[in-house]
Amino acid sequence: MKCVRSFISLIRKKRSKGAWLSLVLIFFSLAAVPSAPAVKVIVLGIAQDGGVPHLGCRQKICLTQHHFVSSLAVVSGDSLYLFDATPDLRAQHFGLIQRYPDLARKNIFDGIFLSHAHIGHYTGLMFLGKESVSTDKVPVYCSAEMAHFLTSNAPWSLLVSNQNIELHVFDSGKSVSLNGLSVTPLAVPHRREFTDTHGFLIKGPKKSLLLISDIDSWEPVKDSLSGWLKTADYALLDGTFYSGNELPGRDIHLVPHPTIEASLQVFQSLAPFRAAIFFIHLNHTNPLLDPDSPESRKLSATPYRVAAEWQEFAL
């Protein structure tokens, strides 16, 4: 309304027919320029692939807490995108629609980005098949290796042949433009039992968010990480284990992730960056899931935090 009043005031000062016409044309040309849609990221889960409670776990965290497997929803205008399809997808989508009824749509998502082929990151696709909601050509963005994995292995190949999903192969480092945002896949080192692994830099009209839920170590990408953290406003990063002694009876080196203790040292060694860092993808053994643990109190004295389910980031 303030803009309209200013425009009317300006017209009153301009008496000539030509000036009136010029001002009218300027006003309607400005009004015709569409504004960028609002973009927000919603955290759907913060747990490692096994979730919390973890199967067979009798520890306090598993007996007292519940956390969905790590995943993000990105809302851009009237479009809804998913980053990683977890085995908790049904409950995550239900919770999302309960909180944001306007996001309900027949085809569930306008696009799904997959990081890699470990169980917490793609198995939720099963709910898109004919045994469940039977979607129609939902765009699934993934690497060439991930696309080959899906088309070469049942039951995922049925989702492709039945046209429940439509694969769109992305290239590392090349942005994918969507409705009001862009997504740049970032190749990161992680166990390649089946496919390569990617993080994502998600850019909205005002801010950007870096998502790297899984990585073996920061060292191979330390220089790139420094640049990514300078570019992004927010970073949701692999926080699977707090320390290297969380899996008694198992060799933690067989499930490589940077411990949070090691990550803090890496972050402190980098050049100053602007990204606010939040840890995601926490294993059920991670003491940061207990807000009263000594490790949680120690982390609270740093600039870094643990992400929370349904936390929002405006981009």
Domain match, 195 and 119 both: yes
Domain match, 213 and 154 both: yes
Residues present in the chain in total:
315
What would the mean pLDDT of 196-201 be, rounded to a whole number? 98
Here the CATH number for the domain that contains residue 209 is 3.60.15.10
Asked whether 268 and 311 are in contact (CB, 8 A), the reply is no
- A 10 A CB-CB count for 132 gives 13
What pairing do the DSSP bridges indicate for beta strands 276-280 and 305-306? Answer: parallel
Phi-psi region of 123 (alpha: psi -120 to 50; beta: other; left: phi over 0): alpha
Domain match, 66 and 123 both: yes
> What is the extent of the structural domain holding 10?
1-33
Domain match, 55 and 28 both: no
What would the mean pLDDT of 274-284 be, rounded to a whole number? 97
Whether residue 233 is predicted with pLDDT greater than 80 in this model: the reply is yes
Asked whether 211 and 229 are in contact (CB, 8 A), the reply is no
Check residue 24 and give its pLDDT. 46
Domain match, 24 and 66 both: no
Domain match, 83 and 178 both: yes
What would the mean pLDDT of 109-118 be, rounded to a whole number? 97
pLDDT tens, 144-180?
A: 999 999 999 999 999 999 999 999 999 999 999 999 9
Domain match, 179 and 88 both: yes
Domain match, 295 and 257 both: yes
**Entry pTM:** 0.88
Domain match, 15 and 115 both: no
pLDDT tens, 50-105?
A: 999 999 999 999 999 999 999 999 999 999 999 999 999 999 999 999 999 999 98
| Total domains present in the chain | 2
Domain match, 200 and 120 both: yes
